[in-house]
Amino acid sequence: MTTAARPRDRLIAAVVLSAVIGLVGGGLAAWGIYARFGPVERVTQQTIVGGSGNNGGALTAGSIAQAKSGSVVEVITKPVTPASLLVGPTGIVDGFAVSANGLVVTSIHAIQGAATLRITTTDGHSYPATIVRADPTHGVVVLQAVGAQGLTPLTFATVTPRVGDLAIAVARSPFSPVTLATGTVSSVGISVRLSATATPLRDALTVDSPPDPRQDGAPLLDGNGNVIGVVVDAGNAAPGIVALSMTAAANLVVAATGGGGTTPAPLLGVQSQILDPATAAAAGVPVGALILSLTAGGPAVSAGLLPGDVVTAVGTTALDATHPFDPTVLGLAPGEQVTLTVYRDGRSRSVQTTVGSG
């Protein structure tokens, strides 16, 4: 005699069958996704070897690098021979064109100790080079490729980079085509020392991508192909790629194209570090620039600032990661009178000082 299945047995069988169907269906779905798209993997280093660069109209890191690669030049800092290329360092660093008639931006670090200066371009031309403008406070320099014409200039971004933004370092190196490194901006408005004895460079940013010393002087681009920084070989000074101030570089280019003598850089005579909201809350102070040290006789000393003060605003501009206590970034000029809002001992007060020059 056949015994009818009890309700509890039927329930267990239904659950087991559903689980089997789910596993099979899920496995088939997963295999379908893998077969269609392949494994998902973040690309942080890529070599550009050719192609039209437009990828059918899609704007990708590779297409941006390909489109902008013609603007990346090589800066020669010492005589180069076939034999010297075999042993290295080769005396070849990166830079990028910012005008059709041969203005080139690179890092001061890239040309430090140069015995000669020449600029070579992707079309095989070579030009003698001279230094036009330099900003040691931010570590950037503008060169002139003498006699150059028809270069393709890069443009600077009009929006300050923010943490989380896409960043693309486009570089060249001997024996290799254009290379790129991609990542996201991991910090902005920081100061970085390239060595223990070096003066800190202001308004730098970092990118969460492995650094390559060969990228020294190369452009750092945003997702629209505009310059947001100048890559510098920072060694182990900071994690990831370090790039120098976009604002300082853009100001140098404006000064270089405006003619006249060397424009003095605005100075406040202070080293500071922006406090993020969490750190400020932990310390019981408002968001702003924590004063680390002062230059004797500088404008900040004249204003009565002390180490440990927090400057929260310059005029009506509140200080934060995108607006550091940096006169160049804030657009101040030598001789300009400014009002500083300073937090000390639980209260805020306003002080005035005059922007210095150097």
Instruction: Give the burial class of 168: count Cβ atoms within 10 A of its Cβ; 0-12 exposed, 13-18 middle, 19 or more buried.
Output: buried
**Residue 167 falls inside a structural domain:** no
**Residue 206 falls inside a structural domain:** no
User: What per-residue confidence (pLDDT) applies to 198?
Assistant: 86
What is the helix (H) or strand (E) element at residue 283, kind and residue range?
helix 277-283
Distances in Å between the alpha carbon of 102 and those of 39, 69, 260, 292? 44, 16, 18, 39
Please give the Cα distance from 344 to 348 (Å, whole number).
6
Please give the Cα distance from 286 to 345 (Å, whole number).
12
**Residue 222 falls inside a structural domain:** no
Residues 156-179 have a mean pLDDT of: 88
Report the percent of the chain where pLDDT is more than 70.
82
Please give the Cα distance from 305 to 352 (Å, whole number).
11
Residues 303-319 have a mean pLDDT of: 95
Residues 1-11 have a mean pLDDT of: 48
Say whether pLDDT at 276 is over 70: yes
| Average predicted confidence (pLDDT) for the chain | 83
Q: Which of 51, 67, 50, 70 is CA-nearest to residue 59?
A: 67
Say whether pLDDT at 140 is over 90: yes
Pair 322, 188: CB distance under 8 Å: yes
Q: pLDDT class for 27, splitting at 50, 70, 90?
A: very low
Please give the Cα distance from 227 to 153 (Å, whole number).
11
Please give the Cα distance from 258 to 206 (Å, whole number).
31
Say whether pLDDT at 29 is over 50: no
Say whether pLDDT at 125 is over 50: yes
Residues 154-168 have a mean pLDDT of: 94
User: What per-residue confidence (pLDDT) applies to 58?
Assistant: 55
Residues 137-143 have a mean pLDDT of: 95
Residues 65-91 have a mean pLDDT of: 85
Pair 167, 185: CB distance under 8 Å: yes
Least confident of 77-86, 142-151, 233-242, 305-314: 77-86
**Residue 323 falls inside a structural domain:** yes
User: What per-residue confidence (pLDDT) applies to 9?
Assistant: 53
**Residue 288 falls inside a structural domain:** yes
User: What per-residue confidence (pLDDT) applies to 352?
Assistant: 95
- Tokens representing 192 are 């970085």
Higher-pLDDT residue of 258 and 48 is: 258
Say whether pLDDT at 8 is over 80: no
Report the percent of the chain where pLDDT is more than 90.
57
Pair 242, 201: CB distance under 8 Å: no
What is the SS3 assignment for 214?
Answer: helix
How many other β-carbons are positioned within 10 Å of the β-carbon of residue 30? Answer: 10
**Domains in the chain: how many in total?**
1
Higher-pLDDT residue of 3 and 216 is: 216
Which CATH number is 306's domain given?
2.30.42.10
User: What per-residue confidence (pLDDT) applies to 89?
Assistant: 65
Q: Give the residue numbers spanning the domain of 347.
A: 266-357
What is the helix (H) or strand (E) element at residue 34, kind and residue range?
helix 7-37
CA 326 to chain CA centroid, Å, is: 17
Please give the Cα distance from 357 to 170 (Å, whole number).
34
Higher-pLDDT residue of 185 and 295 is: 185
**Residue 302 falls inside a structural domain:** yes
